[in-house]
Amino acid sequence: GAGVSQSPRYKVAKRGQDVALRCDPISGHVSLFWYQQALGQGPEFLTYFQNEAQLDKSGLPSDRFFAERPEGSVSTLKIQRTQQEDSAVYLCASSLGQGEEKLFFGSGTQLSVL
């Protein structure tokens, strides 16, 4: 596609529900990143894939957060038993994977946990 696509654009969940956020990176991009952005803050790194391999998941805040990219293209970020503090914008980015390069971001999914 022309850019990084994320869906849904907005998600409202009741506390305790599970949610799944989808990211469709730019075609051919090897690297894929997930970030969490709270209101008025910079993006916080969550996890990073190179093809289907999850190379760094050090930013995932708890074991309720899980990300996958089974075929090295589309990625899903899953949050189990959502809590109010999970409310944030979840940004996905992709890059060619050649190092020292810019990231292309999607518009994000705004998650509100009530």
Partner 1 sequence: SQKIEQNSEALNIQEGKTATLTCNYTNYSPAYLQWYRQDPGRGPVFLLLIRENEKEKRKERLKVTFDTTLKQSLFHITASQPADSATYLCALSRETGANNLFFGTGTRLTVIP
CA-based end-to-end distance of the chain? 33
Binding mask 31-70 for partner 1 (x = CB under 8 A): x-x-x----xxxxxx--x-x-----x--------------
Q: Which two tokens stand for residue 16?
A: 């305790």
Q: How far is the CB of 71 from partner 1 (least distance, A)?
A: 20
Instruction: For the CB of residue 107, give the shortest distance to partner 1 in the complex, in Å.
Output: 5
Instruction: Give the β-pairing of 10-13 and 109-113.
Output: parallel
CB of 59 to partner 1, least distance (A): 9
> Pairing mode, if any, of strands 88-95 and 5-7?
unpaired
Distance CA 41, CA 32 (A): 21
Contact residues toward partner 1 (CB under 8 A) are 4, 31, 33, 35, 40-45, 48, 50, 56, 91, 93, 95, 97, 99-108
